[in-house]
Amino acid sequence: MAGYAAKVRGDIARWREAGLIDAATADALTRDVGANERASLSFGSILAMMAALLFGAAILIFVAANWEVIPRLARVAALFAVILGGYVGGAFSKTRDHAAIGEALWIVAAAAFGGSIALIGQMYHLSGDEASALLTWCAGTALAAVALRSNPLTVTSVGIADAWLFLKWGGFFRRAEFPYFFAAVALVLFATSFWTRSQAARHLIILSILFYLALLAIDRNTLEVAIPLVLVSALLFAAAIFAAEPVDRIVQLGGRLPLHALIGFLAGLAMVQFELADEVSYSSGFAIASAAALAGIVAAIMLGGRESRGLRWVAYAGFAFELAIIYGVMLQSMLGTAGFFLSAAVLLGILALIIIRIEKRMRAPAGGGAAA
Amino acid sequence: MSGKRLIIAALVLGLVQIGFLSWIIAGRAAILRNGKEVLLKVEPVDPRDLLRGDYISINNSISRIPVKLIANIPAGKFTSNDTSIVVRLKKGADGYWQPTTAWFGKAPAPAGPDEADIAGRVADGWGLREPDATIAPEYGIDRFYLPEGEGMAIQSDMRVRPFGIKLALSANGTAQIKALMDGDKTLFEEPLY
């Protein structure tokens, strides 16, 4: 972020004046900050991206309207022109140092590709499902991302793949085959994201895979999905904490792998808890899962909480969820409505107290935190 | 990536995508141009697709195939696999075509002069044992897209008198909708492109 870089530059100037560092060091530090300053999302580039998305939506709706005033061959030709013009024009802008406009034009071209698929489907009344059209669109966008090494296009293709997954899955009462193919798509896009240097795409893919596993758990045997998810997440968390640098050099997630692993861990345990909630009176599975979740949350805060504010808040959210579900399953039957409000108040109080205490500790300097 | 290479990559990418789309269009136009024409009776179901707009969803006379017509069900098989199916159609006295036989996989012999084969796909799990059971293959022809706003009128007309769709069938049985017919009158004839 620009704000961070500016702040560090200010700090460097102050240290230099205070005599903490010499001029050469100050210079080197300033240069390093400048070199590593992330190409930040400026207001202008956000607007350009929003304009591109609106333009893309306009193309898709224009196709859907099936407007007869323009002959359809002319519509096809117009979309083809947008595809070619968008990609080539975007490449020109990019080489002329207008990166944001270039990426935005590429998004428009990718939308025109999707619009063309829809238009052809409409022209020839292809009823083969929307899902396969989306998959073709996703493949075309991923190809564009690879060819142009574009971060936004990679994220877009992940988004289209997610839409495909959801459409193909088709709700609780569908008859279609489960979209196992998504796993392969996610893998290919994950590999692509390294080439296109798209950390954002990797984050989105990991969350999408968790979504996919949740759907799989609904569809198939919950425990067969959830327990491996919990174990793998725990292992990944351990790897990401104890071998932080080598692991992050491989996955390049900006040090946020523990966050994803914790989300995966808690999601897996939540699946187990939902599955076993009905058996709570005669089986200890629910209690074990709840205990594991609480222990995992505590361990996550102790091991990774200091470095990552995001991790702490995921842990708090997980803790709040655990309080709610444990209360819901264990005590629900014993208490009436008044009892519900009373216990909700008590649980929220406990939650607030714990968050305040942990946040205070985490803010204290490292030495003091260890001693306390 | 250097500037020139990026622009070349963009150009090639655009041409590849356009080429791919043109190839689909050309394939469909070829079926329309050269395919064998058959006429099927249709009835409407219900409309609108997010990306492609108004359409009438149609059930045609081959949407459900009686299991009796399938000639090559292996003995002792209770439910269908996910497989391709070929349905042989024969022109009836009223001009509409009717299914006569069907095979999982491929047809053993080519269709006769007044017959045509249409290829479809069967999902797994359809029961094959009951004598009066039917299966519902997918042929990719159950929608007809219309200009915005015309869907409802046609759909209500379809409830009171018989409509038909004219199909073009390629040699391998791929079906392409060619026209929507209101009795003998052609409502929408598809141009090649």
ipTM score assigned to the predicted complex: 0.71
Q: What is the pLDDT of residue B34?
A: 85
Q: What is the pLDDT of residue A372?
A: 36
Range picked from A21-30, A180-189, B34-43 for highest mean pLDDT: A180-189
pLDDT at B155 over 80: no
Q: How confident is residue A158, by pLDDT bands cut at 50, 70 and 90? A: very high
Indicate the residue of A92, A119, A130 with minimum beta-carbon distance to B7: A92
pLDDT at B47 over 80: no
Cβ of A97 under 8 Å from any chain B Cβ? Answer: no
Residues in chain A with CB shorter than 8 Å from the CB of B51 are 60, 63-64, 114, 118, 121, 130, 133
Which of A:209-268 have CB within 8 Å of B?
none
In terms of pTM, does the model score above 0.80?
A: no
> What would the pLDDT profile of A176-193 be if each residue is shown by its tens digit?
667 888 999 999 999 999
Q: Torsion over CA of B12, B17, B19 and B22, rounded to 10 degrees?
A: -160
Range picked from A23-37, A167-181, A201-215 for highest mean pLDDT: A201-215
Burial of A347-366, coded b for 16+ CB within 10 Å and e otherwise, reads eeeeeeebbeebeeebeeee
Higher-scoring residue by pLDDT: A271, A279 = A271
Which of A:168-197 have CB within 8 Å of B?
175, 177
Q: What is the pLDDT of residue A173?
A: 56
Q: What is the pLDDT of residue A367?
A: 46
pLDDT at B29 over 60: yes
Nearest chain A Cα distance for residue B7, angstroms? 5
Q: How confident is residue A370, by pLDDT bands cut at 50, 70 and 90? A: very low
pLDDT at A67 over 50: yes
Rounded to whole angstroms, what are the CA distances from A39 to A1, A36, A100, A294?
8, 9, 10, 39
Higher-scoring residue by pLDDT: A366, A280 = A280
pLDDT at A39 over 60: no
pLDDT at B179 over 70: yes
- Determine the 3-state secondary structure of B176 from DSSP: strand
Dihedral-angle region of residue A30 (phi above 0 means left; psi in -120 to 50 means alpha; beta otherwise): alpha
Q: Which residue of B has its CA nearest to A83?
A: B14
Least confident of A133-137, A356-360, B129-133: B129-133
Radius of gyration (C-alpha) of chain A in whole angstroms: 25
Rounded to whole angstroms, what are the CA distances from A83 to A20, A74, A200, B19, B106?
56, 14, 25, 11, 39
CB spacing of B6 vs A123 below 8 angstroms: no
Q: What is the pLDDT of residue A358?
A: 82
Cβ of A83 under 8 Å from any chain B Cβ? Answer: yes
pLDDT at A55 over 80: yes
Dihedral-angle region of residue B105 (phi above 0 means left; psi in -120 to 50 means alpha; beta otherwise): left
Q: What is the pLDDT of residue B20?
A: 94
Q: How many residue contacts between A and B have a Cβ separation below 8 Å?
A: 126
Q: Which helix (H) or strand (E) holds A184?
A: helix A181-195
Average pLDDT over residues A115-126: 85
Nearest chain A Cα distance for residue B179, angstroms? 10
Q: Answer for the pair B162, B187: CB distance below 8 angstroms, yes or no.
A: no
Q: How confident is residue A324, by pLDDT bands cut at 50, 70 and 90? A: confident
Of A364, A269, A262, give the one whose Cα is nearest residue A313: A262
Domain locations along chain A: 1-39, 221-372
Q: What is the pLDDT of residue A191?
A: 92
> What would the pLDDT profile of A199-232 be if each residue is shown by its tens digit?
889 999 999 999 999 888 887 778 888 888 999 9
Q: What is the pLDDT of residue B45?
A: 57
Q: How confident is residue A263, by pLDDT bands cut at 50, 70 and 90? A: very high
d(Cα B76, Cα A128) in Å, to the nearest integer?
Answer: 32
Strand partners, B117: B88
Indicate the residue of A65, A72, A94 with minimum beta-carbon distance to B53: A65
Average pLDDT over residues B93-99: 84
* The residue count for chain B: 193
Range picked from A77-81, A221-225, B163-167 for highest mean pLDDT: A77-81
Higher-scoring residue by pLDDT: B12, B3 = B12
User: For chain A, what percent of residues have pLDDT higher than 70?
Assistant: 88
